[in-house]
Amino acid sequence: DLVLLPSPIKPDTSTSTINEASPKKFYAPDYCFLIHHPLTKTHYIFDLGMRKDLENLPPYLVKHVLPSFDCTPRSPADILKKHGSREQQPGNIKAAGFHKAELWVGPTCCTYARPGYPVEEDAPTLSETLPTDSSRRVVEFYISDEELRKTGDERAGKVEKAKKDGLYEAVDLSRPGGKGWIGLGSFNHTFDVFGDGAAYLIDAPGHSAGHQMMLVRVKNGLDREEDDFVLLAGD
């Protein structure tokens, strides 16, 4: 089951055309999805969006990024408290990224996201997001250097170097089970999250290392013979 969590505001489509002579700001939603896996009776949050206390973002983002955007974020935890069932409350959701909850990140994420602010003054991430004291379980899915080199991936060797630099303390480097990493469409590294074809996590490095997408199988009505898929993509 896949649910798009409600947004605080609705898109304004009246300004959806581009006029280079008069720059405008556009509504750019950051979607958060609630995923329910019926067989294991577990819930997951995919993408946590922007934190609502924007003033506590890294100073670099507050100074250089926020002035360009009108952000009105809501916490996924608050949304679930208002709209979710008892099973969907923050304390019962795994891999949601809530405080002290298990957090899944993509391959080589910690090479970019650590050490974070305030250890690194101009960092775009916070040190507390990926703590080194084991207060939150951080799982980074691992692709071996051998596999990366097969496809000419420039990330080969980065994790080993980052380990020596101390950037992987209290991080669980996890190799996917089952068939391991498989190809899916134009993506070289994808794995079956639950082992039943319900969801595939896709390694899709984009604006930052560790960027992921997910392909989720959904039922579109009981009378449909074939399942549909929803691609939770990004930049």
Q: 74-131: per-residue pLDDT in tens?
A: 777 777 777 665 554 444 444 333 445 688 899 999 999 999 999 999 999 999 999 9
- Global confidence as pTM: 0.80
What are the C-alpha distances in Å from 11 to residues 83, 201, 204, 235?
A: 20, 28, 27, 19
Cβ neighbors of 17 (< 8 A, separation 6 or more) are none
Structure tokens of 1? Answer: 């089951």
Q: Residues of the chain with pLDDT > 70: what percent?
A: 77
Q: Inform me whether the pLDDT recorded for 159 exceeds 80.
A: yes
Tell me the mean pLDDT in the region 186-196: 93
Q: Is the peptide bond before 118 cis (omega within 30 degrees of 0)?
A: yes
pLDDT confidence of residue 75: 76
